[in-house]
Structure 1
């Protein structure tokens, strides 16, 4: 593998994994302490009004993440993440889709430069990759910072943000291949020669077909 090898970009949640890993982690944190769920419930009317006004769930997600981590600093995350991962009924590695991992490994075997770009929390994605035997694969993920006694996202590796973040990590476009399940990755898909959509929802598929100049290949891994 060299710096001139083709670059292959994989999304993480619902592309390599069976579920949205960050959402499941923060739901797990909230459910551990009833008072956290109660705090979210009390704030729901205000948050719902915000969603109706802006047509975005951003503030709801930010608030839920902050409540889930309230009273916990960055140093507490690794231990909480490990507890969460060990709670999976079928084991820590059960989050990954076998066919997706097989495809990723096939690219590596061909000497391609593979990178995972995800909105998932960096330490969570790192832990999951470690348990799945994929810790050797470069990762670009979201980071958090302390805020009013909890944690909030700092650098969000999502949507158009993925492009500069990947570039900063040495994986500048254009890319040879991109894999994703969601139209939020259109900025990445548009800069990729070959595109694969993993079990996309109908509305997602329609948006991507409309935006791309070339046809994407559908993969039914999930």
Structure 2
């Protein structure tokens, strides 16, 4: 059974420290949203409640300052009635097993190749994600990378459901990385403007699979020499891989 911890594993004693985001970086899509959409679709009344709440929660998700509130609302709908994080762990396992083929196709081969290159070089690789770490770790088990340390959103019982108790997002992601011992970052890979604190802290930031409308902003904030790459997300921006 998966454990509901915020992170696991310790930094290795040598090599560069390399941080990967997960969604839209190693995985084509938002893995947490896919999980909680599955949880909502388990019953008709959860689906109906989500539809009723969508006009309120949807706009909250659209804007970075309120995004976590909108996401938390849908997470609450998907888990209301549950009182233990272990229940969500079991359901996460069921979701990954039930949708294994589709989830596996979303893992980005080039991204996994870059991750493997860092591991082969002896670098200290950690994944820092807004998704629950149990979910990212279960998906990475498809490609035998489940032992790569994962720092992610912690979940626990609250308000009659199991929701995020600490969201690994924006500045909070940096605090969680530092608390886990990753105080100096050599290379960081992410698609998200929410990860600007991470990208700005890294000696060598690399933007991968950004939204097309965000490319100019990344170049302005991080400098024109910062790589902005597309690792296989068809609806995303960045310089395309060679044919």
TM > 0.5: yes
Match of 2:208 in 1: 198
Match of 1:110 in 2: 121
- Taking the aligned partners of 2:22 and 2:78, their CA distance within structure 1 comes to 22
Structure 2 counterpart of 1:147, from 158, 161, 186: 158
TM-superposed CA distance for 1:131, in Å, is 2.9
Aligned residues between the structures? 221
1:216 aligns with 2:215: no
- Taking the aligned partners of 2:222 and 2:63, their CA distance within structure 1 comes to 30
Residue aligned with 2:13, SS = coil
Match of 1:12 in 2: 22
- Taking the aligned partners of 2:137 and 2:100, their CA distance within structure 1 comes to 20
TM-superposed CA distance for 1:121, in Å, is 0.9
Match of 2:71 in 1: 61
| CA displacement 1:173-202 (0-9 Å, x = unmatched) | 2x1111111111110111111121212112
Match of 1:80 in 2: 91
Match of 1:94 in 2: 105
Residue aligned with 2:203, SS = strand
Match of 1:165 in 2: 176
CA 1:34–1:2: 2 relative to 1, 3 Å: closer
TM-superposed CA distance for 1:59, in Å, is 2.5
Unaligned runs of 5+ in 2: 1-10, 233-243
CA 1:78–1:48: 2 relative to 1, 3 Å: closer
Residue aligned with 1:102, SS = helix
- Taking the aligned partners of 2:153 and 2:114, their CA distance within structure 1 comes to 24
TM-superposed CA distance for 1:219, in Å, is 2.2
- Taking the aligned partners of 1:48 and 1:79, their CA distance within structure 2 comes to 27
- Taking the aligned partners of 1:47 and 1:11, their CA distance within structure 2 comes to 24
Out of 34-43 and 20-29, give the one that drifted further: 34-43
Are 1:86 and 1:92, in contact at CA under 8 Å, matched by a contact in 2?
A: no
Residue aligned with 1:172, SS = coil
TM-superposed CA distance for 1:95, in Å, is 3.2
Structure 1 counterpart of 2:48, from 38, 42, 62: 38
- Taking the aligned partners of 1:205 and 1:151, their CA distance within structure 2 comes to 36
TM-superposed CA distance for 1:116, in Å, is 0.5
- After TM superposition, the score normalised by the length of structure 1 is 0.89
What is the root-mean-square deviation in Å for CA atoms of aligned residues?
2.4
Match of 2:239 in 1: none
Unaligned runs of 5+ in 1: none
1:156 aligns with 2:167: yes
- Taking the aligned partners of 1:53 and 1:3, their CA distance within structure 2 comes to 39
CA 1:144–1:113: 2 relative to 1, 3 Å: same
Greater fraction strand: 1
- Taking the aligned partners of 2:61 and 2:88, their CA distance within structure 1 comes to 28
